[in-house]
Amino acid sequence: MATKSMDVLDLKRTNSIKPNGVYQLRVESAETKNGNKGLLLMLRLRFVGQTGSIFQSVPVTGDGSFMYDAFLDAIEAPANGKMKVSELRGKNLWAKVYSQTYNEQESNKIKQFLKPALAAQLKETEEVVAAAGERLRGDPGLEADVDFATKVKDDPSLEESSDPTDDDGFPI
């Protein structure tokens, strides 16, 4: 089959870097590899319903194996038994994602794999934070905002007063 050559290139960028936040991902590919400190699970995760993907190495053995445990919990793998690496393909999971710059290249990485129940709680909390403070995913102070938003949701007396004020915020 002949390939078509192009004399003109489209220069539009397809920036698929996501802002920090909680996302649903699907395992697109998985393989194991021996790393310097033990066995690694090499994952390519695709954002569900969006463009972009993440390449993530997960330590299976050694100091970082807690991330492997979290990954297994996120895909709701059984607590015992065996699974072929090829069976990971197509599994959906939720994760906290952040963006990083390394060697002048921006990419997304996994900060934390999430159990489905925790992901549901975080998604609900994010809606509260977004509605109340316009601060969305990934701000360094997000944890404090989430904590406050959760308190406001549970105790309406903490909400700002609804007394009328002028444009400068002074009582009328």
Which pLDDT band, with edges at 50, 70 and 90, does 136 fall under?
very low
Nearest CA among 129, 141, 138 for reference residue 96: 138
Which pLDDT band, with edges at 50, 70 and 90, does 133 fall under?
very low
pLDDT of res. 86: 96
Helix, strand or coil for residue 92?
Answer: strand
Task: Check whether 130 has a pLDDT greater than 70.
Answer: no
Specify the higher pLDDT residue, 22 or 125: 22
Which pLDDT band, with edges at 50, 70 and 90, does 1 fall under?
low
For residue 117, what are the CA distances in angstroms to 4, 47, 69? 49, 19, 16
pLDDT of res. 87: 97
Tokens 């463009």 sit on residue: 51
Tell me the pTM: 0.66
Q: Which helix (H) or strand (E) holds 25?
A: strand 21-35
Domain boundaries, the chain: 21-114, 121-156
Specify the higher pLDDT residue, 62 or 12: 62
Q: What is the CATH number of domain 21-114?
A: 2.40.50
